[in-house]
Amino acid sequence: MRYEGRVYRPPSEAYSLIVQVTIGCAHNKCTFCSMFKDKRFRVRKINEVLEDLQAARQYYRKVERIFLADGDALVLQNKDLLVILREIRKLFPECQRVGIYGSPQDVLRKTEEELAELRENGIGIVYIGAESGSDKVLKDVVKGATRAEIIEAVRKIEASGLQASVTFISGLGGKKDWKEHAIESGTMISEMEPSYVGLLTLITEPLAELHDDIEKGRFELLSPLEVLQETELMLENINVKKTCVFRSNHASNYVSLKGDLPQDKRRMLDQIRNAMKNTDMLKDERFRML
């Protein structure tokens, strides 16, 4: 296998075979994100990807999950993705699910039939970063997508029979916009009803523009207690009818939460409120990481 630069994958793809289909992220402008700042975006040659899959087959006896990286591999046209997916089927008949990152624009460019075609050929889950439900916050962080576009993209993924795993970031509104960020993110989840929601907590690295804003005092980070208040308000505003697996158990989070919404909402709210009273339960700043 050949990997170029640092390779990122969602926490739930920890045991997957990672294959780089693109290098970097086609957008690469989000101010909080430094993941691909050192990479110039390009689509890899399909033959190189196929060679990597063949090499992996020689090396691994059992591959049940494959993740197509980098930032938004869904940017590829369906005809190219289908060549890769068919090779995966041929080489790894035991593979149960292929996952992929996609931006809202990548999803919106595809028809529902094209998304269904990807599902029929092995894609099971699309990871998509919403980050916030607030249009103001999305604009401030240069997400390149509006609340309405993200909602439409997630609904489209779910309507095509794929699962959407949507990421939000606690603290992304800073002290100024935390309430709007919490309420609008909660109502957005209610409106789009994704299969999974992952809630991280903001941590920036020096290459991210937001890091400089924090250092220079232009953006005020929430305290750990304020992060919990924000999560409480976000959860209070989530009212889904279809089961949504909610996870806030990433290395960046102060408190680890995991449950199925709507049924576990009360339990998770109690957990947050207990942590707000017993701050000893919060993860030490030294142990938080991206």
Interacting residues toward ligand SF4 by CB under 6 A:
25, 27-30, 33, 35-36, 71, 103, 129
Instruction: Kindly state the smallest distance separating residue 274's Cβ from ligand SF4, in Å.
Output: 32
Q: Which is nearer to ligand SF4, 28 or 121 (CB)?
A: 28
Distances (CA, A) of 35 to 71, 74, 97, 113: 9, 17, 25, 31
Least distance from ligand SF4 to the Cβ atom of residue 162, Å: 19
The kind and range of the H/E element at 54 are helix 46-59
- Closest separation between CB of residue 141 and ligand SF4, Å? 8
Residues 6+ apart with CB under 8 A from 107: 74, 115, 126, 128, 153, 154, 156, 157
Considering the complex, what minimum distance in angstroms separates the CB of residue 26 from ligand SF4?
8
What span, in angstroms and rounded, lies between the C-alpha atoms of 142 and 149? 14
In whole angstroms, the minimum distance from the beta carbon of 136 to ligand SF4 comes to: 17
Name which of 28, 3, 31 is nearest 18 in CA terms.
3
Q: Which is nearer to ligand SF4, 92 or 127 (CB)?
A: 127
State which residue, 22 or 163, has the beta carbon closest to ligand SF4. Answer: 22
Least distance from ligand SF4 to the Cβ atom of residue 30, Å: 3
Q: Which is nearer to ligand SF4, 168 or 254 (CB)?
A: 168
CB-wise, 233 or 251, nearer to ligand SF4?
251
| Extended strands (E) in the chain | 17-20, 22-23, 42-43, 65-69, 97-101, 123-131, 163-170, 196-201, 244-248, 257-261
- Nearest CB to ligand SF4, comparing residues 27 and 181: 27
Buried b (16+ CB within 10 A) or exposed e, 162-173: bbbbbbbbbbbb
